[in-house]
Structure formats: C-alpha cells, structure tokens
Amino acid sequence: MRIVSLRHGAPGGRGWPLGRVAVVGAIVVVLAGGVVGCGSGVVSEEPFRMISAGGGHTCGVRVDDTVACWGNNKYGQARAPGGGFVSVAAGSGHTCGLRTDDTITCWGNNRFGQAEAPGGGFVSVGAGSDRSCGVRPGGAAVCWGDHAYGTDEVSGVAFVSVAMVWGHSCGLLADGGVFCWGQNTSGQARSPSGPFSSVSVGWQYACGLRVEGGIDCWGHHVSRRGEAPAGRFVSVAAGHRHVCGVRAGGEAVCWGRDSRGQARAPGGEFVSVTAGGSHSCGLLAGGDVACWGFDGEGVGAPPGVVWVPPESTLAPVRPAGRFAAVSAGDEHACGLRTDGAVSCWGANEYGQAEAPVGSFIAVSAGGFHTCGLRADRTVVCWGGLKGPVSPPGEFVAIDAGHLRACALRAEGTAMCWGEFGWGEWGDLRPGGELAEGLVSVSEGFNYFCGLRADGTTGCYSDRRSFTFRESRYTAVSVGWGHACGLRLGATVECWGGANDHGELDAPEGEFAAVSAGADHTCGLRPGGSVECWGDNFYGQADAPEGEFAAVSAGEVLSCGLRPGGVVECWGRFQVVGAGIAWE
C-alpha cells in the first residue's frame, strides 16, 4: 500500500533554531537544515514537522508548535499539555516535551519520577521506559527516573542528544561520536567509532546513522535487527525489537520483529520515521503521518494521521500427522508427535523451529527458543536462549518463557536460566516459599510462577519482588505480563499485566485447562470447546469451533490439539516452517 500526503506543498511555520536536536522516542533524527523531534498536543489540523513513537502511543509536533498524541493513554501519556513545543519524546508510559522557552515538561507514568523534569534550560530531550534525559546548553546530560542501570548526570563530554530505553542510554556527541552507558550484557553500551549524525536506542541494542548515510547497529540482534539494508539513509529509528529507516530517495524500510506488522512500511515519500513497541510511524513529505502495526487501542489518531490497515490473518494452520501435545511460542509453534519426535513451524530467525532428532516426552515453545524434555529426562533447548543449551541433571517438566526457561526436578525444586531483570542472565533457583515442593512451573516475560501440591502459588517479578497468591489452583500459566490460574472450583482467575486488551477478563464458568499468551488467554472448557479472550489483532483469540483436548496460547497465535491427535493453529505465522507437511 502506498501512502501519499493529504496536503499539497511543504509544511510551514516557525523555523528551527540551529543546534537544536530532538530525540524521537528512543530515536534521534537529524535532518539537513534543522532537527526533527517528537511531541504531543491538541486542537490543531496543521501539518506535522516531527513524530515520536513510544511503547504504545505516538506524539508529534505540528508546524504551529502544538503537540498531538494518539494511542495508549493508560497513564495519561497521550494527553498532551497546551503551549508551544520544539520537540517531544514518547517513552514507554510517559512523554516529555522540550518547550519553546527551553524548559522540559513531562506527563504520564511517574512511578520512578521519570515525569518530574528538573528546571533550567535544555537543548534536547529523550524518554525511555522508566527514565528520561535532557541535554543542557553546555552539552552535559541530565537524567531522571529509574537509575538502576544509569546515573543522574554524565559530564566531561559534550552531548548533542541522548536516547535511552530499558537499562542503557546512548548519546550523540558534538564531534559525531557516540557515548553509551548503563547495562551492557549484550554489548549494547559498546558503541563503534564514528562519525555519526544520529543515534537510536532499542531493547538491548542501538543503531547509529553514519554521516555518509550507512547504518550500524550493535548489541543484542534479536530478530536480525542488526542486519541493516545496504544503501544511503537519512533517518534511522530503533524500536523495541525492530528498526526502520528512510532511504535518501524517501522510501521507508523496516526490518526485525514483525509480530504486529510494525516492520511492513507502506509506500510513499517519507522525511523521517520513528519506531515504537509494536508500531511504527513515518512523517510524509507533505506533513502528514502514516503509521503501521498495532495502534495502541487508546486515543484516536488526530487529523493528518492515517493508520495503514494490517494484512488479513492467515487461515488456520494444520500440520500433517498425529500429535500428543502442542505448544505455541511468540511466532512459532512445536508439537510432540505420537512417536516421540518433535516438529516445529513458524518463525525461525534463531533456529527455534529447528528441532533436534531424538525421542521426547514434552516440548515447550518460548520467545525465540524452544526446549524439550527427552525420554531420558534431560533437557535440551534450541534457538536464541542465553545460557546452557542443556542444563545438568534430570527433570520432570520444562517451560520456555519469552527470554528464559524453567525446568522442574523430581524432588520439587526448580531451575531457571536465560535473561533476567533488565537483560541480566544466569541461573535462578527460586527460594523462600518456592524453594521446594513444586509440582509445576511457568515462565513468561520477566515473570515466574510456581505451583505447589497443596494448590498454593507464588510468583517472582523481575527478580525484584515475590507475591503469594491467596487462591488455590490446580494449574497456573504465565504470559508476558499476566498469569492465569485454574482454581480448585474449575473457574479461571487472572492477575498482573495492564489488561489493555482484556487478557485478565476471564469468562465465567468452568474450565478444564488455561493457557496465558502475550496479551491474550485461551481456556479449554470441560466439553472440549476452546474460548479465548484478550488481544485479537491477528485472530489469535478467534478459536475454531469443535472439540479440543488441549490448547496453548502464544504471542500472535494459538494452537489446539484435537482428540484424534490433529493440531490446529490460528492467528499469524511469520514464516511457514520448512520440512513440515500440511493438511
């Protein structure tokens, strides 16, 4: 689909002061003759001059200096104040804007103080997940909010702009170099030598636009974010797990994770681009904005903004053969065949769909990896999981999460490995109430729950906190940020997460099983029917009719096992796996 501007002519309005640079969400975009920033505002139909995509919302500054925001508004991050702005930076749940008087105003989530900007003058501003930074006229970077992996002030170098996200920050220096600090487990704070014209930060990685127009990325290249296309670019934007850029001729291109269509840029002549959590937006030459991916389900798009509709969802997928179990991951799925072999299909950037040969008794599909429990009770994992491929010892159960995996031993103790907290990785052996006596474990995205034989359940969040559930359950399933449990009375209770998609709103009545996905949940009724609720962007919550024996919810897909051993999946698959026959 090609998008053209709805207006004719170039945008007008107040000129940009020389030397001003704005961070576009987690992106810094610098254009010839001025700077592009990001903002949020109201009541105007003037063209935009800059845009910034955050976690689930987007903001833009119009040529009359007002800010407009749209998308997720849970914390008020899309409710922009009045007044004139030079630029705006959209973070995860908050937004910060650089006003025309050089002061910074922030709004939205302020849990860590990320919306409490210090006084005084600034020349640029950036907003991350729980942290914000600004550059003073003298070049010093001042930050506020969560300082778990950073510092309040970086001096001794002259910054032009600063961008940040979870755990690390990078700044463009006046001499064209890039200086990064904070969490560095994947090399995301170890920048190459310049010169660069802009820098943009994503989740555990960063990308820089070189002065000659090439793009360099460094850090954790999940979904092949680091494989930038060749050619000359004028803009680059690092999103959560995808990257977008604008070529010298005005074409927008994106690469990396594409779970919500965020990496499928439409046609049109673009000036700049910004990448968020699961969406992207581009500024067209005429001052209009085109966005693609997930729209945030919040404040509607203002005048001058058009959403490119997603592609239609795929028809149900049915791999040939008979299976004993099935597991849905982020964008791939794996099934345990009746002869003990494992077959996988779907996305395969890291080999997560390339199952090893051998006899298995269980399989679990995670984010970018898969783990299987062999017949000899050993565990083997394949794909993009950090840590041991095969942890030592014998186990009785395995569960692959978004970035980690957990295995249960016969004596009731658990071992987890992979990435923890803000990207740290290592081994985690739950202690306290969960030190022993476990009968099942479930791992999601920085969230882990263990179930004991008496039905009590405890959950860890980000390795920082532990909560003990009051209800008693027969089964517990953890999604990205929420969890659901099957109570002793066979009803389902869900908790955690933002509930932006209704993933916590379990239907009434009895269930025989429950499975929590990214932002949706599926349950198996006693009669064999499947009912799903929550996010349905790709049809992952549109369960087919008929009888099932089991169900598994992933990120953008769900799979069910029919009583006769036939597997049926619905939702979206990025790639149909090779070596799989289909019914």
How many C-beta atoms lie closer than 10 Å to residue 432's C-beta? 9
Sole residue written with tokens 């793009």: 215
Residues in a beta bridge with 125: 134
Cβ distance 213 to 233 under 8 Å? yes
Cβ distance 370 to 383 under 8 Å? yes
Which residues, at least 6 apart from 339, have a Cβ–Cβ distance to it below 8 Å? 359
What pLDDT score does 98 carry? 98
What pLDDT score does 64 carry? 95
145-149, 207-211, 327-331, 533-537: which range is least confident on average? 145-149
Distances in Å between the Cα of 472 and the Cα atoms of 92, 410, 455, 495, 505 are 34, 22, 5, 14, 19
Position with higher pLDDT, 34 vs 43 = 43
Residues in the chain, how many? 583
Return the top range by mean pLDDT from 100-104, 165-169, 403-407, 415-419: 100-104
Percent with pLDDT over 70 in the chain: 83
Cβ distance 155 to 147 under 8 Å? no
* 563: DSSP letter: T
Sole residue written with tokens 């729980």: 130
Alpha-carbon gap, residue 266 to 243, rounded angstroms: 15
Over 60: is that where the pLDDT of 577 sits?
A: no
Instruction: Report residue 413 as tokens.
Output: 């103790």
How buried is 465 (Cβ within 10 angstroms: 0-12 exposed, 13-18 middle, 19+ buried)? exposed
Domains and CATH numbers, the chain: 23-303 (2.130.10.30), 322-504 (2.130.10.30)
Rg (CA), the chain: 24
Helices (H), 436-476: none
Percent with pLDDT over 90 in the chain: 58
What confidence tens digit (pLDDT) does each residue in 527-555 have?
999 999 999 988 899 999 999 999 999 98
Instruction: Report residue 565 as tokens.
Output: 């051993």
Residues in a beta bridge with 223: none
- What are the backbone angles phi and psi of residue 433, rounded to the nearest 5°? -65, -20
88 closest CA partner among 108, 73, 75, 104: 104
Position with higher pLDDT, 1 vs 519 = 519
Q: Collapse the DSSP code of 434 into the 3-class scheme (helix H, G, I; strand E, B; otherwise coil) and give the result.
A: helix
Cβ distance 298 to 316 under 8 Å? no
What confidence tens digit (pLDDT) does each residue in 175-185 have?
999 999 988 87
Alpha-carbon gap, residue 128 to 91, rounded angstroms: 5
Alpha-carbon gap, residue 398 to 415, rounded angstroms: 10
What confidence tens digit (pLDDT) does each residue in 395-436 have?
999 999 988 899 999 999 888 888 754 333 344 556 555 667
